[in-house]
Structure 1
């Protein structure tokens, strides 16, 4: 990634940079897995890393996280970003830095509504965003495709082909970006109406119908829809439903004498959050009044971090806004990459998202302060639902998964282009399938490792060494 105030490089110098990186580490070498990943009985212990993460999380929610991860090799993979970062740190890397998503698995791509009220398709999770070698994101994505393929009952050969096609799409998109003008490259983005046409043409009728259903469903995911699902009216007042442990109003988490002070503190924190928004978006936020707050369990890997939903009203109760305040901890990549230190992890997430996405949520911002437990924590805020949706991976047939993997590879390349140098990266990747084959080799090997780790994880739960709740 080009640092602020970096010297301008000519095309010739950028091409030379890519060639020099290629001489240091050939694209084919990126297919290696670290020592010990495929060998049982080595010093590698992903379980220890996962349990380390539990130390900073809400204790009563950690077993829910473990229960969700145990459901399948794919859900385990979703929660195992830290073990994979540890593994990637022991592999050869290109040295070509971009702003990484940091957790670019298949389910972290999806739909959302832009401020222009169009539906975009992009990376949509940035908790682990951090500068690092571009291929770390590609490896995370490629391996997730193989894990999903095997979970869906496809063979190893099919899974490897899916990963290779995703890598090829990334490589070819990066080459196309290198040929574009700087502004055209920056503004590149993907809309479902166009980008998913290729999927529709390669899948059976039932899968195509399901895909259309998911796109329409995304449009219905807005604050009004969330209001109907997450809130209730008691004595004429709108508040969040109580469905512990998945959603718990703040009034049930605190002593009655502490509630008024908690809301006073929250109003102060919202004023600080407001200052991190662009001035014209602050005007929009000021048109809403805070009504209620609740703790909400989200995702798989994120379960146990503090996540809150905030209900606001505009002209009345039927004019809602729901924001999510999500705790931001240090990126799992930070301990392995010599990148920048961040005074506020929420700011890290927000700035990474704004850099990677073509367009971001108008309510995106960050805040920090002492929580209800007396511990100082960082948060970032965004809309809970604004046209958000995703493709149900379990419903995809082999052809659809291949096409969907290509779309995700294309979108990832667009995001990397904004912070990295597409000319240098394209020169590094080359015009042959060397990189594609390397990603296919890595992905199939890492999927095998993930399956073994998942089995070890489930066995530890079964013997009582790891606490897990399977019903949430």
Structure 2
């Protein structure tokens, strides 16, 4: 752990000592003033960003690393999405509040969205936990707010609009945390944001000046589209019948059926391994004795390229059959490597990185996928890889950052800020954090200043990255 990432702390009070928890949070302001979070200045010994990306690529599928680089080259915003390691290294050099939560670890605006809860309601929450790890709460806030500044620059928003947006994200976080600190224990724990609440809020006359008709219609369209994204929609898009057998359609290099990867999987018998993995993974699910998974049988699987930052890690889609061909289930098994945060914070408490992801997600989300679990796979040469498993499609929906407009982004920033506060309030001490944040705007002003400075850093890193591609140091494949 770096010297900057450590902080001098008192012994935390007992959870039942609410006055002591408030005092502990206020005392953290003395150790780490809220205004200290405004500063970003790269240290003289800052790691070369291109070297960090090269280092990260060594554990990934070599043929897919150029695809990752190609996606990161699209804009400074897509670069930022793939640069979680770079920012983690930078955050480790900044002031530390000493108030620990379960961090998302990659809380940029594209990692929030809609999905179906276990109770079959459409909810809004964080939806990516590959980098989750315990750490200072402000690391997630800084990454989230900086993502809005970078996206706003990419979309050509003017200075005034961008400033309003990033202040809204920080203020929403603070105000939701203050409300959670004053709530009853169970109200704070169960607090969540469902689509019905969001739609009512957007349609409310009181919000008419903030939510134009265009934004209301756009959100309604996102909801309608999300409700179509389920296993049947994925089945229609991804599956064909060959000789009476269901098979996933190949689209290399983005989707490659397992039989076309036999020389590139480091697993002796992928289909046998898949069945064994599914049987064992079931033990990590809630209510594993009578889980719906037991009624499905394995059919086929393929490697699938996903996201931006995740490209190159091993990700599989697994086709399962229930009662018949009209009862399919798609699972995604995604490789879980060590969090980019771990080298700068405390070691991971779990032996399996997939378990780290699942435990972190269950802690931060109000409701998690009932198919969420983990497993370790041993291939040729006794290489062990950790995976977490979830549904591939389950009413997924999200903001299209490429089509964002200032007013809609302002609303989205507020929603994301509140959502992050809910997650931190469940995994950390909401009373201590609220006392640290206080009732003034000092915190969000400081985070906004950081976001503006860090957006400049991101642009400089993006230029170094594109130059490394241009001179042949890195390879990039575009358009995939």
Unaligned runs of 5+ in 2: 1-11
Whether the 8 Å CA contact 1:131–1:339 is kept in 2: the answer is: no
Point out where structure 1 has 5 or more consecutive residues left out of the alignment. none
The answer to whether the aligner puts 1:330 opposite 2:338 as a matched pair is yes
Q: 1:43 to 1:140 in 2, by over 3 A?
A: closer
* 2:275 matches 1:302: no
In the alignment, structure 1 residue 21 sits paired with structure 2 residue 9: no
Displacement of 1:157: 3.4
Q: Cα RMSD (Å) of the superposition?
A: 2.0
Structure 1 contact 277–365 (Cα < 8 Å) conserved: yes
> Aligned in 2, Cα 1:302/1:396: closer, same or farther, shift over 3 Å?
same
- SS of residue in 1 equivalent to 2:455: helix
- Corresponding residue number in structure 2 for 1:127: 130
Q: CA deviation at 1:155?
A: 2.1
Q: How many residues align?
A: 463
**More moved, 446-455 vs 360-369:** 446-455
For residue 147 of structure 2, the aligned residue among 121, 144, 156 is 144
Scaled by the length of structure 1, the TM-score of the pair is: 0.94
Q: Indicate whether 1:214 and 2:222 are aligned.
A: yes
Equivalence for 1:379: 387
Contact 2:68 2:312 in 1 (8 A): yes
Matches within 5 A, 1:25-174: 25-36=32-43, 43-174=46-177
1:463 aligned partner: 471
Tell whether the 8 Å contact from 1:119 to 1:192 is kept in structure 2 after alignment: yes
Please state if 1:402 is matched with 2:410.
Answer: yes
Greater mean alpha carbon deviation, residues 361-370 or residues 188-197: 188-197
1:174–1:422: 8 Å Cα contact kept in structure 2?
yes
Q: 1:43 Cα shift? A: 4.4
Secondary structure at 2:422's aligned position in 1?
helix
The question of 1:436 aligning with 2:444 is answered yes
CA contact (8 A) 1:196 1:404 kept: no
Contact 1:363–1:383 under 8 Å retained in 2:
yes
Matches for 1:176-325 after TM superposition, within 5 Å: 176-195=179-198, 201=208, 202-254=210-262, 261-280=269-288, 282-325=290-333
Task: Give 1:42 deviation, angstroms.
Answer: 6.5
Q: For the Cα contact (< 8 Å) 2:23–2:432, is it kept in 1?
A: yes
The 10-residue stretch of structure 1 (127-136 or 366-375) with the greater mean CA deviation from structure 2: 366-375
Give the Cα separation in 2 of the matches to 1:240 and 1:471.
22
- The alignment's TM-score, normalised by the length of structure 2, stands at 0.93
Q: Deviations over 1:329-368 (max 9, x none)?
A: 0000000012443200000000000000000000000000
Report the alpha carbon displacement of residue 233 of structure 1 after superposing the two structures with TM. Answer: 1.0
- CA shift, 1:205, in A, is 3.5
Q: 1:96 to 1:357 in 2, by over 3 A?
A: same
Q: Tell me if structure 2 keeps the 8 A contact 1:322–1:385.
A: yes
Distance 1:340 1:9, change over 3 A: farther
Cα separation, partners in 2 of 1:457 and 1:35, compared to 1, 3 Å: closer
1:417 corresponding residue in structure 2: 425
